[in-house]
Copies of this chain bind each other. A is one copy, B any other.
Amino acid sequence: MVAMKRAVGQHHGNLRRAIIDAALDVIAASHVDDVTLRAVARRAGVSAAAPYHHFADKDALLAAVALDGFEALGKRQLEILSGNGDAEFKLARMTAAYVSFAWQHETHYRVMFRALLPAGGTFKDAALEAAARDSFERLVGAIAAVNPALSTDQAVARALVAWSLAHGAVDVGRCGAALSAEFDAAGFANDVGAAVRRLAVEPPEDGGQH
C-alpha cells in the first residue's frame, strides 16, 4: 500500500497521505514511543527530509495521524447513528465500536490520546480538538436519546463516565489478558457495554430538566 517505486526526483502523487498511511503501518507494529519520523519516512520509501514538505515537524505529523483516527471513529459513529435500531441499540453499538477500534488499532488510539493531551494540558491543534469534541458530543447525544429525562448537564456527566469506562477498558482488557489465561475478552467487552447501558438508563435523582 506504501513505498511505491518511483524514478529519482519524480514527484509523488500524494505524499502527505502516503506518509500518514506509513505512520499507521509503523504504528500498528510499534509501541507508542517507537514511532519516529525517520521510521515513518523509511516506511514510506522516502528520505528522512521529505516529510518536512508536508508537516512542520514530528508533532504536526502525529497530530495529523491523531486527526485521522478521530475522523475514522467519527465516521463509524455517524454510520451507527444514522442506521437502524432504537436509542439503546445505538448506544450499545457505539460503545462496542469505540472499544473495538481502540483494541484493533491500539497504538493509533494511544497516539490520538497523546496528541490530545500534550504536556501542558491545553490543546494545540484546533482541528483535533474539534474532532474530539464532536466525537464526545455524539456520545452525549446517544445517552440523551436513551434517557430523555436527563438535563444536558446530566447527560454530559454520564457521557464522561461512559467515556472513562470505554477508555479504561482498553488497558484493563490488556492487563486482564496478561494476568489471567482464562480472561474472557468478549465477555468483558459485553460487561462494559452493559455497564454503559445501565449508566445511561438510570433515572436522574431529581427528575432532570430543572
A-side residues, CB < 8 A to B, are 31, 33, 113, 116-117, 119, 121-123, 129, 132-133, 136, 157-158, 160-161, 163-169, 171-179, 187-188, 191-192, 195, 198-199, 202
A173 to B121, CA, bound (A): 11
Given A168-B165, A191-B157, A195-B161, A174 and B136 touching (CB < 8 A)? no
For residue A107, give the distance in angstroms from its CB to the closest CB of chain B: 10
For residue A95, give the distance in angstroms from its CB to the closest CB of chain B: 12
Q: A31 touching B165 by the CB < 8 A rule?
A: no
Given A157-B188, A195-B161, A171 and B178 touching (CB < 8 A)? no
Given A164-B168, A165-B164, A168-B166, A179 and B133 touching (CB < 8 A)? yes
A39 to B185, CA, bound (A): 39
A178 to B123, CA, bound (A): 7
Chain B contacts for A119, CB-based, 8 A? 31
- Neighbour of A179 across the interface among B132, B158, B191, CB < 8 A: B132
Chain B contacts for A116, CB-based, 8 A? 175, 178
A116 to B119, CA, bound (A): 23
Between-chain CB contacts (< 8 Å), 23 pairs: A31-B119, A33-B33, A116-B175, A117-B175, A117-B178, A121-B178, A122-B178, A123-B178, A123-B179, A129-B179, A160-B172, A160-B188, A160-B191, A161-B165, A161-B188, A161-B195, A163-B168, A164-B164, A164-B166, A164-B168, A164-B192, A165-B165, A168-B169
Chain B contacts for A123, CB-based, 8 A? 178-179
Nearest residue, chain B, Cβ from A133? B179
